């Protein structure tokens, strides 16, 4: 398949690029700074652009089969490019006839906040408040689109390897004082598994390591 990865220089985005290439897909990495992407592969194309500049997105979206969106904010920051950029991305997808959208969101968005363990709630309401607010806007825009979307809401992200062992669901119970985590590699692998599966179509699922 032809896959566009947006946010390809971030931790989860880079995992998506690497794993998609390993699976034999053709990958286009959409980046602002190509120097931050160290991956090289004959099936990898790098497109330079900015999600806040729609005219740079459309050429990258054309001829793709699916889009992997890994836009995110750094802890303690609110990056308005997350929501606005996703809206611009979806507009380009609609113009190009690309329907499959895989989105990396976060625990704490939507109903997952009430189900989060207490330590996570405290972090979400303080350090991550700006980032979560952007993710709320992003998810709302995705849900209101007519695209074939799937949203993953990971718990605390780590740089560990892909294990293939995780729990996921639209409603996921946690023990009150746990500090759940999952590797970026496992999140990327789960979403790539959804490229041709409708199991979680139009669903927002929480995902965490076992």
Q: What's the pLDDT tens digit per position in 4-33? A: 999 999 999 999 999 999 999 999 999 999
- Closest to 209 (Cα-Cα) out of 192, 195, 178: 178
pLDDT on residue 139 = 98
What are phi and psi for residue 24, nearest 5 degrees?
95, 10
Strand runs labelled E in the chain? 2-6, 26-31, 44-48, 66-69, 100-104, 148-154, 156-158, 166-169, 181-183, 204-209
Position 121 pLDDT exceeds 90: yes
118-125 helix and 129-144 helix, angle to the nearest 10 degrees: 90
pLDDT on residue 73 = 79
Position 206 pLDDT exceeds 90: yes
With beta carbons less than 8 A apart as the criterion, state whether 47 and 29 touch. Answer: yes
Tell me: the pLDDT tens digits for 32-89?
999 999 999 999 999 999 999 999 999 999 999 999 999 997 766 567 899 999 999 9
pLDDT on residue 79 = 75
Q: Which region among 57-61, 66-70, 100-104, 130-134 has the lowest average model confidence (pLDDT)? A: 130-134
For the domain made up of 2-209, give the CATH fold: Rossmann fold (3.40.50)
**Order of strands, sheet of 204-209, starting from the edge strand that comes earlier in the sequence:** 44-48, 26-31, 2-6, 66-69, 100-104, 148-154, 204-209, 166-169
pLDDT on residue 75 = 65
pLDDT on residue 74 = 72
Residue ranges covered by each domain of the chain: 2-209
- Once rounded to an integer, what is the mean pLDDT over residues 102-109? 97
Position 103 pLDDT exceeds 70: yes
């Amino acid at each position: 398949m032809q896959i566009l990865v947006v946010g390809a220089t971030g931790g989860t985005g880079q995992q998506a690029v690497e794993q998609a290439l390993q699976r034999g897909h053709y990958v286009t990495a959409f980046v602002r700074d190509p120097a931050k992407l160290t991956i090289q592969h004959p099936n990898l194309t790098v497109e330079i652009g900015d999600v806040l500049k729609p005219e740079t997105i459309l050429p990258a979206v054309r001829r793709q089969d699916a889009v992997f969106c890994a836009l995110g904010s750094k802890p303690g920051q609110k990056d308005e490019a997350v929501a606005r950029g996703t809206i611009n991305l979806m507009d380009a997808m609609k113009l190009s006839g690309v329907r499959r959208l895989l989105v990396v969101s976060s625990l704490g968005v939507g109903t997952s906040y009430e189900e989060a363990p207490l330590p996570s709630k405290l972090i979400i309401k303080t350090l991550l408040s700006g980032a979560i607010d952007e993710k709320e806007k992003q998810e709302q825009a995705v849900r209101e689109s007519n695209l074939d979307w799937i949203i993953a809401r990971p718990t605390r992200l780590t740089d560990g390897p892909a294990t293939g062992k995780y729990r996921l669901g639209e409603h996921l119970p946690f023990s009150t004082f746990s500090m759940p985590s999952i590797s970026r590699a496992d999140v990327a692998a789960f979403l790539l598994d959804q490229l041709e599966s409708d199991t979680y179509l139009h669903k927002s699922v929480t995902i965490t390591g076992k």
